[in-house]
Amino acid sequence: MKAARTTTVLWPSDLPASRGICYGWKRPLLLVAGIVPFSESKDSEVDVHDLIASVVAFPQWRAVRDMLSSDPEVVGFCETTASNGASPYFRPAGMPSALESDTQFVLYHRHRRPTMRFYAFDFNELDILPLQDSSDDPSPASTNNAEAALQSDFTRVQAAASRRSASLDTEANFAQLLVDLVEHQRVGGVPPIPSSPLAVTPERSLTPAIPPASSTVQRSSHYALVRQAVRRLHAISREFSTTADQLDVRFEQGIYVAGELPHVYQDKARTVSSISKFHNCVWLVLNDVIIGVAFGSFLCENRHILAGWLEYSMQHYLIIRMQLALLWLNNWPAGLKLNTELSHFYCNTLVGVVSAWGWLLERSAPYFPALIGAIGIAGCCGMTMIVSLLSDTLSLLTAHTYACYYLSATVFRHQLSLAGSLWNLFRGKRYNVLRNRIDSWDYELDQLLLGTILFTLLAFLYPTVLTYYALFATARLAIMMIHAVLDTVTALLNHFPLFALLLRVKDPLRLPDTMPTSRRV
């Protein structure tokens, strides 16, 4: 006589007390979706098989059929006499009576999709084995060995458990849909009308007219050139303008919402990740617009005060302070004796650039209120648009610091390159351009003498170049930090998981990873 084995069954906790034939899935775990009331007829099991086969052919089920590992089937027979939590009597289909004495039930609730509650099972947490074939010999020794192997071989079991869990998630989440379709078929024999005609896309038989081959090739080549030019212009604009980048992000969000809106509530094939992503995107856009309108109103109402503060800040910190810093460097600061002629050249050139930009800012100051008002009006497109415009405005108002930094950095880079070449000269090396490597080389006496003279000039001029480069590198770093803060605010407003966090507080069952462990009976 064969020993009894433990059969794990996922049983609906909301299933009413009844006696009949259970249907659901056998793999990766025996999951009961519903019960068809038992009939005294001998062909009752055949009738249930035909019922499930007709349900599988419905358009509503074909929309989600590819997401499941197998079609539903008859999984066993049961008899429940009480609904007070007592364990039902269950016998798996096709299993001998000698193995039906020990059954372990894991209760789950069949959530309806409008509630947006979904399951995410983990076989490692459940500590159960998938149902084996009835032809196997489930002896106690083999069962214990299998359990020991399951607990010891962590690498293999975790990979398999993840695949089984993904399949079990889908079956448990679509159990209620299967029950609804079976009940409609049993009661009326006609499947419910799809709530959205887009749930199942019919095949189109109309074939568009094909234009001549020559005109098609010529038109496609022109279109390819235009698309390439537009793509290149788009990439350049996104690189130099934060506003262009934000417009591209908002355009992609609009396309995504418009494409998902007809399907998210009607299409049964939508997964929890796509639904959560849709709602999070809509919520972020709405919050962005609300915050943008509020902050934009503040900017429009106080544009004259803010324009005066902006003019003072630009003139004081970016013009006057920068000129004073350049004059301070020209007067041997902190006892650092710079090269007088080169320092005068640096100071006069850079002070001229800063003074010219200050003159432009002074002439543009009357237009600052209109600029701030335009940024405030852009708040109708969201707070991210205001932040992007502020970032581009900061880049425009500080263009003189970037120009001075570019000039000083170019000279500094060339000096470093010259120092590296002279270092190779004194070591008897030279850079081989053809082979892209450094080779040994014998230099002439005049070459070594010329290298010594250049090294002397470089050594005396390097501190002056380094000092002016350090000044504008520090200013550039401060401006880049402000840009980083604005970009961080934009990224949070565009991609912050607000929907998931608030949903975690309101209803954790809608988040699969926070689902409490199922109860066992």
Structural contact between residues 295 and 489, judged by C-beta atoms closer than 8 angstroms? no
Give me the amino acid identity at 242: T
| Residues linked to residue 92 through DSSP beta bridges, in sequence order | 76
154 and 26 in a single domain? The answer is yes
Please tell me the predicted confidence (pLDDT) of residue 233: 59
44 and 187 in a single domain? The answer is yes
Choose the most confident range, by mean pLDDT, from 4-18, 72-86, 346-360: 346-360
| pTM recorded for the entire structure | 0.64
Using DSSP's 3-state secondary structure scheme, residue 107 falls into: strand
Is residue 340 assigned to a domain? yes
Domain termination residue (choose one: 162, 194, 226)? 194
Residue 124 binned pLDDT confidence (cut-offs 50, 70, 90)? low
Helices (H) and strands (E) in the chain, counts: 17, 9
Q: Name the CA dihedral angle for 69, 72, 77, 78, rounded to a multiple of 10 degrees.
A: 90
Residues 6+ apart with CB under 8 A from 367: none
190 and 308 in a single domain? The answer is no
Residues 6+ apart with CB under 8 A from 238: 244, 245, 248
Is residue 275 assigned to a domain? no
Give per-residue pLDDT as tens, 363-417.
999 999 999 999 999 999 999 999 999 999 999 999 999 999 999 999 999 999 9
Domain termination residue (choose one: 169, 194, 219)? 194
179 and 320 in a single domain? The answer is no
Structural contact between residues 72 and 56, judged by C-beta atoms closer than 8 angstroms? yes
27 and 147 in a single domain? The answer is yes
Give the orientation angle of helix 175-187 with respect to helix 154-173, to 10 degrees.
40
Q: Name the CA dihedral angle for 142, 143, 147, 150, rounded to a multiple of 10 degrees.
A: 60
Distance (Å, whole) CA 348 – CA 12: 83
**The residue to which tokens 């999984």 are assigned:** 75
Is residue 324 assigned to a domain? yes
Distance (Å, whole) CA 488 – CA 515: 32
Structural contact between residues 278 and 264, judged by C-beta atoms closer than 8 angstroms? yes
Give per-residue pLDDT as tens, 21-33.
888 887 777 888 8
Q: How far apart are the first and last CA of the chain?
A: 27
Distance (Å, whole) CA 128 – CA 422: 72
Structural contact between residues 192 and 60, judged by C-beta atoms closer than 8 angstroms? yes
Structure-block tokens of residue 167: 């399949």
User: Is pLDDT at 336 greater than 70 in this prediction?
Assistant: yes
Sign of CA dihedral 166, 168, 173, 179: positive
User: Is pLDDT at 130 greater than 90 in this prediction?
Assistant: no
Is residue 233 assigned to a domain? no
Structural contact between residues 31 and 23, judged by C-beta atoms closer than 8 angstroms? no
Domain termination residue (choose one: 194, 218, 242)? 194
Please tell me the predicted confidence (pLDDT) of residue 271: 57
Is residue 230 assigned to a domain? no
Please tell me the predicted confidence (pLDDT) of residue 434: 84
Residue 192 binned pLDDT confidence (cut-offs 50, 70, 90)? very low
188 and 323 in a single domain? The answer is no
Is residue 201 assigned to a domain? no
Give per-residue pLDDT as tens, 424-447.
888 888 888 888 888 888 888 888
Distance (Å, whole) CA 33 – CA 110: 8
Sign of CA dihedral 266, 268, 269, 275: positive
Please tell me the predicted confidence (pLDDT) of residue 177: 81
Distance (Å, whole) CA 74 – CA 55: 13
Structural contact between residues 381 and 293, judged by C-beta atoms closer than 8 angstroms? no
Is residue 259 assigned to a domain? no
Please tell me the predicted confidence (pLDDT) of residue 123: 55
Please tell me the predicted confidence (pLDDT) of residue 397: 93
Structure-block tokens of residue 99: 């193995």
Read off the pLDDT of each residue in 126-138 and give the average, rounded to a whole number: 45
Is residue 369 assigned to a domain? yes
Alpha helix (H) residue ranges in 100-212: 123-126, 140-152, 154-173, 175-187
Residue 95 binned pLDDT confidence (cut-offs 50, 70, 90)? low
Tell me which residue range forms the domain holding 356.
294-503
Per the structure, the count of domains in the chain is 2
109-118, 158-167, 240-249, 403-412: which range is least confident on average?
158-167
Please indicate whether residue 514 or residue 399 has the higher confidence score (pLDDT). Answer: 399
Choose the most confident range, by mean pLDDT, from 118-127, 177-186, 229-238: 177-186
Please tell me the predicted confidence (pLDDT) of residue 484: 94
